[in-house]
Structure 1
C-alpha cells in the first residue's frame, strides 16, 4: 500500500511538473520582409496570471527576455532582438526601477540579412523568465532551428550579399556536447566555488540522485490551508466578540433574552429552546453570507481581488470611511425599509420561522457596527485562497455573536451582572475607529508597492502608526473627546491599562524608524528594503554558490545544508531575503547552524562545455551555470519555481519538507528547526 501511495505521489509530481513548465508556449517562424531580409518571429502564449519581462531591462533588474544564436550560416543579424508587442510598464519597488512586462501573449522579433540562401542554417534559443505573484520559473532555453528549406520562397539574396559569403561563414559557431550521466554530474558540470574546500569523499552520483519520493513522504506538497482555516476561524471569533460589545449589539442582549423569557413565563425550557434557535439562525445567516460571497466570486477570484492593487486602494478608502463613521462623523445604517420588512415578517409568522426573521433583523440593525468588522474579516479570509475561508470566518464570527444570547437565556440571573449601556459603548466604537484607520494603511501599502509610488515607505508607515496609537492612548486617558462621548470624571482601571498598552506599542515602534525589524508588526508594515534610513545590518549571505562545494564544506563542519534556489531576477526571492532572513532568529540559524548554498538559476556564466540531458522525453542542452542549477532543482527535487528552499544531509537526502514563497517567519523557523532536529538524530 505504501509503495502504491509513493508511486501515485510520484505520478502526481510528474504531472504537476509538466504543468508547471507550461507557463509559456513558444512558436517560432520566419517572415520575408523584402530586400533579402527576414524576421525571426517568436510568439509566446503566457499562462493566465503569469507574466514575463521585456527585452530591455536596466542593470540590476530581473532577467530580460533574450535571444542567443548557437549557429548562424548564410545570414547575419540586423539590429537588436526586440518586442513587437507593447509592454506594460510599471515601477518595481523591489528592483527600484521601471520595468516592462507582458501578459497573455507577446511577439518578439530579430531581423536578419540572408547572405546564402542555399546554405542557410539558424539555430539558437530564446530565454524568458515567467513569474506570478508567488514564484518565478528559471529562464530555460526555448530552442529554434531552421534550415534552407524553412526559408520563405519569396526571399531573394542581393548581389552584394551573395558576393560576401565569407562573413556568413565566420558567424558559424562550433559546439561541443557532453552527455550528463548519473555517474559524472559533478565532473561534467563543475564550476568554481566561492569557498576553498576539497570535495574528496563526496559521492557526486548520490548528490544528484532524485529524492522526489522522499520529499513526498515528508509532505512536500502539504499545504498550510488547514492552519490558515483555523486562524481564520479564530480571527472571526475574535471579531464576533468585538462586535458583541459595540453599541449596536450590546443593548440587544438583555432586550432579546427578556423577550424570550417573558413570552414563555411558565415554560423556561421553551424560552431556552427559542434562544438556541435564535443563536443557530444567526450562525446560519452569517455562514450563508460567507458561502454566497465565495459562490458569487469564487475562491480564486477572491484571492486575485485581495492581491489586486486596485482592490487594496478601494478597501483602503472603505476602511477610512468606516473609521470616520466610528469616530462619529456620520451614521452608517442600512435602509430602514429592510429592517421594517423583517419586523413585519417576524410578527406575521410563528415558531422557528418567526425567530429566524428576528435574527435577520438583528443582523440588519447591527450592520453599522458589524459591517466594517465583517468586511475586514472577509478580505483577510479571501487572502487565504481557500474556498471555505469566508464561510469559516463567518462561522467563527457568528458563534461569538450568538452564544451569549443562548447562555443568558439559560442563565437569566447573569443579566443583572451585565454592564449597563452608556458612554463606554461609544468609546468601543472610537477605539475600533483608530484600529480601522491603522489597518487601512496596510492596504494602501500594498497598492503603493504595486504601483511604485513610494509615498508609504516603511518609515512613513511607522510614523503614521506611532501617531495613531499615541492618539488612541491619549483618547483612552480622556484627553480627546469625540461626538457621542460622555464626560469622563475619572479614568477607569481598564481604560488606564488599555492606554498604557497603546502608548507602549507606539514607543515600541520608534526604533523601527532607524531600521529595527519590529517583527511584531512585520506582517502589516512595508518591507525593510523600502526604508531609506537603516542602521540595522540584517543581511544574510551564502557561504558558497556551488552545490558540491557546499556539501563538502558542510561535511567538514558537520552541519546540515540549506539550498536556496534563487535568481537574480526573482522578485519574491528578494522579498523573502528582506522580510524573513532579516529576522534575528532566522539570521542566527542560517549563519551558525546551516551551510547556506545559494544557487542562481539565471546565472548567465557559460559552462566549460554544453551538456545534453534527457528530460521528459526530450533532449535539453545545459549551456550556463544557471541551466545546471535549474536542472538540479527539476531533476532531483521535482520543482522549477523560485524561491525554493530545501534542507539536506551530507548525502543530498532531504531533512524536512521543502519550503517555497511564504513570508511567515514562524513557519520558516519551524522549517529550519525540523531540518536541524532530523540532522541530529
Structure 2
C-alpha cells in the first residue's frame, strides 16, 4: 500500500504539480572558529504543505536525507544536523507518528575542517514536500567557505549513477532484527580457533632442527647465571613472556592497515593475484623445508641482537628472546609465513585473527623454554636431536606444498579461470601425499636425508595415516568429503557438466532483483545468502549443514535462495557499471564487478561485511528473523523454521488488514 501511494504521488507530480516551488531553499555559512563552520539550509514552505524531517520514523513517509560530498576527506561532520521546530502527527495511512516542518524549516550542520585550504563543500537534500500528494525532490547546494581553493570534482555522479544507487538501497522493515548479538559470539569463537591454530604452529616450530636444540642450551644459560632459584624462575618467565610479546608485535602492522580502511584486508584476501603470489610463496617455503636452500635473515641482525642481550636485566632478557626468534627463523619462517598468509586471507576481523594466531604461536613456542627453565630436571625427558627432525621438516614441506594449491584454487574460483576444477585439485593432492608416502618409506631422498636403516614405529604410523588420507581423497572423486569442506573447490565446480552452479543442485538466483521477482510471484520468503567463491566457512555450511534432510527440504521447497558472491571478479555489463554514492558521507565508490555490487549491497543494507551471512526476508522486504552466520545444523534448522512461522504471521496480518 505504501509503495502504491508513493507511486501515485510520483505520477501526479508530473501533471504540473512539480513545476511549482512548494519549498524554496536558501543556504548560509557561519564561521564558529578557525576550523569550525555551521552550514545552514533554510526553507520557506507553501501554506498547507509540509516537508518531512530527517527524524520521521521508518514505516511512514520517506525521511529527508542530507548528503555532504567528500565528508571525511577535507572536513568531518560534527554530529547529526540540527533542526528547527517540527510538528508530529499520527498518519492514518501508515499508522505511525510522522515528523515534519510546517511554514519554514531550518537545518544546521556543524563541520570541522581537516584541510585549512578547503573552500567549497557540496551537499544534497533528498526530501518530500506534501499536501494531498507528496513530491520527492533532490536538490544540490554549494557552500563556499572563507579563502582557499575550490575542490575539483574527482568522480562524476550522473542520473544513471543516482538511479542505480537508489536501486541498491532497500527499504527494509523490522530492521532492528539485524542487530544480532550472536554474531559477536561467533567472532569470539573464530578468534579462539585461530589461537589454537597458532598453538599448533608453535608446537611444530619447536620440533625444527634449528629450534629444538636451543631448548637445553637456553635453559642451561638461565640455571647457570641465576644467583638464586627465585631469580632463575623470574628470568625464565620474563623470557617466555618476551617471546610471546615479540610474536604478537608481528601482527601490529595489520591493525594499522585495518584502521585505514576496515575492509581493506578482506578485499585484499580475495584478490586473485595476491593468492597467486601466496601460492608461489608457499611453494618457496615448501622447497626450503625440503632442504634445497635455507631461509636466513642478515647476520648483522642476529649479531646486534646478541650484543644487546648481554646487557642484563629485563632489556637483556628481551633481546635474548629476540635473538632466539631471529636465529630460528630459517626453520620457523615457513610456519610463521603460513600463519600470516592464512590469517591475511581469512574471513572476519583479519587483524584480530592474526593477533590471536600469533598469540597462540608465541605461547606454544615459549612454553617449553619457560617450563624447562623452571624445572630443569625435566630436560632429561627430552628426546635427543637427530634425523627425525629433518623428517618433520620434510613432512611439513609436503603439507605446505598441498596448501599452496588452496591459494591457487582461490584465485581460480574468483576469476573463473577453470584451471583447478574439483577433480583436478583432488588429483594434485593425491599425487603430493603419495610422494609423501614414498618418502616415508625411504624411497625418495632430499638433500639433508641420511640412509634409512630402519622404519620407526612413528614413521610407520604416519605412513599408514597418509595412505588412509590418500584413499579418502580418492573417495572424493565420486562422493562428498565433509572433512575437507571449504578446502576443496565446491562440488558444482567440476569437470563434469552439472545442471547448475548452485550448491547441492538447489535452484538459486545470483541476482537479487531476479530472485525477489520469483519470491513475489510464488509468495515465498527469501533466503539471502551472502557468500564468496573463496569463502571456506560458506562451503562448510553448504556441505555439512545444508545437506541435512530437514534443512535441504526447506531450502528446496519453502524458500527462494538468492546467493550473492561478494568476491566475484567478473565485470558487470557496461550498462550496469556505476558510481555508488553513500548517503551517510557522500563518498563515491566505483561499482564495476559483480562482487563489488553485492559487497556494497550487503554493507549498505545489512551493515555487515562477513560471509557467510544469511538473512530471511519476506517478498515485501520484512526481516523474518535475526541474521545467521556460521553455525551447526540444529541451530540453522530452527532458524529456518522460525522464519517460516514468522512469514505465515505476516501473511495472516496482511490478510486481516485487507
TM-score per shorter chain, which class?
0.5 to 0.7
Retained in 2: the 8 A contact 1:282–1:359?
yes
Q: Secondary structure at the match of 2:560?
A: strand
Distance 1:323 1:518, change over 3 A: same
1:290 aligns with 2:255: no
Name 1:327's counterpart in structure 2. Answer: 290
Name 2:208's counterpart in structure 1. Answer: 246
1:355 aligns with 2:320: no
Distance 1:308 1:647, change over 3 A: closer
| Distance in 1 between residues matched to 2:537 and 2:199, nearest whole Å | 33
Greater CA deviation, 349-358 or 384-393?
Answer: 384-393
- More relative contact order, 1 or 2 (CA 8 Å, 6+ apart): 1
Name 1:374's counterpart in structure 2. Answer: 336
Name 1:488's counterpart in structure 2. Answer: 452
Retained in 1: the 8 A contact 2:270–2:411?
no
RMSD over equivalenced CA pairs, Å:
4.6
Residue 363 of structure 1: CA displacement? 0.5
Name 1:50's counterpart in structure 2. Answer: none
1:280-332: CA deviations, max 9, x gaps?
11111111121134326755433333222121111111111111110011111
Distance 1:18 1:344, change over 3 A: farther
Residue 414 of structure 1: CA displacement? 1.1
1:306 aligns with 2:232: no
Q: Is there any run of 5+ residues in structure 2 with no aligned partner, and where?
A: 1-54, 71-153, 509-514, 565-583, 585-597, 647-658
Distance 1:293 1:597, change over 3 A: closer
1:474 aligns with 2:434: no
Name 1:256's counterpart in structure 2. Answer: 218
Q: Secondary structure at the match of 1:483?
A: coil
1:339 aligns with 2:302: yes
1:495-515: CA deviations, max 9, x gaps?
22222221211111113234x
Name 1:448's counterpart in structure 2. Answer: 412
1:539 aligns with 2:501: no
Residue 590 of structure 1: CA displacement? 3.0
Q: TM-score, normalised by structure 2?
A: 0.59
> Counterparts in 2 of 1:389-538, with a 5 A limit?
389-514=353-478, 516-533=479-496, 538=504
Residue 223 of structure 1: CA displacement? 7.0
Retained in 2: the 8 A contact 1:343–1:357?
yes
Distance 1:384 1:597, change over 3 A: closer
Residue 478 of structure 1: CA displacement? 2.6
| Distance in 1 between residues matched to 2:155 and 2:339, nearest whole Å | 36
Name 1:672's counterpart in structure 2. Answer: 637
Residue 519 of structure 1: CA displacement? 2.6
Alignment size in residue pairs:
452
Distance 1:244 1:345, change over 3 A: same
Q: Secondary structure at the match of 1:564?
A: strand
Distance 1:451 1:545, change over 3 A: closer
| Distance in 1 between residues matched to 2:534 and 2:412, nearest whole Å | 18
Distance 1:645 1:359, change over 3 A: closer
Residue 526 of structure 1: CA displacement? 2.2
Q: Secondary structure at the match of 1:453?
A: coil
> Counterparts in 2 of 1:206-285, with a 5 A limit?
210-216=173-179, 218-219=180-181, 222=184, 224-264=186-226, 267-285=228-246
Distance 1:333 1:540, change over 3 A: same
| Distance in 1 between residues matched to 2:415 and 2:163, nearest whole Å | 27
| Distance in 2 between residues matched to 1:344 and 1:301, nearest whole Å | 39
Retained in 1: the 8 A contact 2:538–2:612?
no
Name 1:658's counterpart in structure 2. Answer: 627
| Distance in 1 between residues matched to 2:526 and 2:558, nearest whole Å | 6
Q: Secondary structure at the match of 2:450?
A: coil
| Distance in 2 between residues matched to 1:385 and 1:337, nearest whole Å | 38
| Distance in 1 between residues matched to 2:403 and 2:162, nearest whole Å | 44
| Distance in 2 between residues matched to 1:250 and 1:418, nearest whole Å | 10
Retained in 2: the 8 A contact 1:655–1:675?
no
| Distance in 2 between residues matched to 1:258 and 1:576, nearest whole Å | 45
| Distance in 2 between residues matched to 1:296 and 1:140, nearest whole Å | 28
1:505-543: CA deviations, max 9, x gaps?
1111113234x3323222222233321126899312489
Q: Is there any run of 5+ residues in structure 1 with no aligned partner, and where?
A: 1-7, 24-103, 110-123, 131-136, 142-207, 552-561, 603-615, 617-629
Retained in 2: the 8 A contact 1:127–1:140?
no
Residue 545 of structure 1: CA displacement? 4.1
Distance 1:576 1:334, change over 3 A: closer
